[in-house]
């Protein structure tokens, strides 16, 4: 991490600020919290601490499905972000939507982003489905993100809400959206995957 920090500080002196866009749902928007407490804002603080030449843009929309994220992707890409973090599918899982359709939407998001800018770096945030649709759906849904990341060669956050999901003390009263403490952990989950890309030439191969 020291080497990453040094490289990022050097890049800051050489490059103008570029965007890291977080395309997401209410989990990205920070539903129930001040925007400054949502994980994209916390990632911005980490960037600022390294004097990294990046600006985190929160493009989260509450209630949005993967189909909705795909529909507004062109608008999200209009400023040609350097990095796109894709957090979508959680509402698909909550509604028990067809897993094949969710997977197809994620693939379309990745491919359309690359068609718009072949140099864009993409991070996919893994999600989990609630257990009420049965074990088969839960397993299939979890596999979507791993499979898309491997096939499309994008970086994967295995589970955005790792160490937060299902922990009462880290979530708001709805049991779904992280509270302030939970958001800090989510930001760390994102940062572990995002930080290596800030060197400017991060590999697009999926995480081992």
Gyration radius of the chain over CA positions: 16
Strands 121-125 and 155-157: parallel
Residues belonging to the chain: 208
Q: What is the reported pTM?
A: 0.88
Highest mean pLDDT among 1-5, 8-12, 99-103: 99-103
pLDDT of residue 204: 32
User: Which tokens belong to 74?
Assistant: 């062109």
Per-residue pLDDT reduced to its tens digit, 27-41: 999 999 999 999 999
| Residue 97 to residues 27, 44, 101, 173, 206, Cα–Cα distance (Å) | 18, 33, 8, 25, 26
Question: Does residue 167 carry a pLDDT above 70?
Answer: yes
Q: For the chain, list the domains and their CATH numbers.
A: 2-199 (3.40.50.1110)
Query: What average pLDDT does the segment 19-48 reach?
Result: 98
Return the minimum-mean-pLDDT range out of 67-76, 124-133, 149-158, 193-202: 193-202
Question: What residues are labeled active site?
Answer: 26, 174, 177
């Amino acid at each position: 991490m020291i080497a990453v920090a040094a490289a990022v500080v050097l890049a800051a002196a050489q490059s103008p600020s570029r965007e890291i866009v977080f395309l997401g749902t209410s989990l990205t928007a920070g539903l129930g919290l001040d925007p400054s407490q949502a994980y994209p804002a916390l990632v911005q603080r980490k960037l600022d601490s390294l004097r990294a030449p990046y600006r985190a843009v929160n493009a989260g929309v509450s209630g949005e499905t993967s189909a909705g994220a795909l529909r507004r992707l062109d608008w999200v890409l209009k400023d040609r972000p350097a990095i796109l973090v894709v957090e979508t599918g959680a509402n698909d899982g909550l509604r028990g939507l067809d897993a094949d359709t969710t997977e197809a939407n994620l693939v379309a998001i990745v491919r359309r982003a690359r068609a718009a800018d072949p140099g864009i770096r993409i991070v996919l945030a893994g999600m989990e489905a609630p257990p009420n649709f049965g074990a088969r759906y839960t397993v299939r849904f979890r596999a979507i993100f791993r499979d898309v990341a491997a096939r499309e060669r994008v970086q994967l956050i295995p589970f955005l809400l790792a160490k937060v999901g299902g922990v009462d003390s880290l979530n708001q009263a709805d049991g779904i959206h992280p509270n302030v403490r939970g958001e800090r952990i989510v930001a760390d989950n994102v940062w572990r995957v995002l930080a290596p890309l800030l060197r400017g030439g991060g590999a697009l191969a999926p995480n081992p």
